[in-house]
Structures are given as structure tokens and as C-alpha cells.
Amino acid sequence: MFPASFVSYIIKLIAPKLTEKIADHVAKAFKLPQVLNYMELPNDADQRIDKLEAQIKMLAEDQHPPVIDLEEWKDVKDTIKKLKNKKAFKKLG
């Protein structure tokens, strides 16, 4: 067939072309160009995310600080618990 010295030369010539053909076939079989386009180009999901991010930014700008802070709220809850525990309110209930 071929002398042994030509085998490595032939493999060097064929291997790149063969790997390119295999890669093209795999890309077509798994629709890789379509997947890459969906991932890289703007699409409907990107538009929805941009819209949601704009809404979040708007809501963050429009928010105001709480009317009552956490410590005051805890004091109010404690006061309500103390009032509930008084005997006068137990008679009414």
C-alpha cells in the first residue's frame, strides 16, 4: 500500500479536513448556528428582561423611606402585647 514514511504525511493532510467535516456535521445536527444566534443576538427574552429592569429601576427611584422604623414597630408590638395581657381587656373579650 503506502510506505510507512507517507502515513504520517497523509494523516497530517487528512486530519484537519476530517475534523472540519466532523465539526460541520455536528453543528448541523445540533443546530449550533441557531443556538449561537439565539444566545448572542438580542431576542424576546432580552427585551423582556430590559423592560423588567427598567420597571425595577423606576420603582426603586419612586420608593420612600418607611413611615415607622423597625425599632418603633417593635415598641408598638410590645405595647399591644402588654395591653392584651392586662386583666381589664380580658374581661371585655
pLDDT of 81 reads 86
> What integer best gives the mean pLDDT of the chain?
85
pLDDT at 37: 87
The domain ranges of the chain are 1-30, 43-93
Q: State the pLDDT at residue 87.
A: 64
Q: Which helix (H) or strand (E) holds 33?
A: helix 32-40
Q: Determine the pLDDT at residue 89.
A: 60
Write out residues in the chain with pLDDT < 50, as ranges.
Answer: none
The pTM assigned to this predicted structure is 0.40
pLDDT of 1 reads: 59
Position 35 scores a pLDDT of 86
The Cα-based distances of 74 to 14, 15, 70, 82, 89 in angstroms read 78, 74, 6, 12, 21
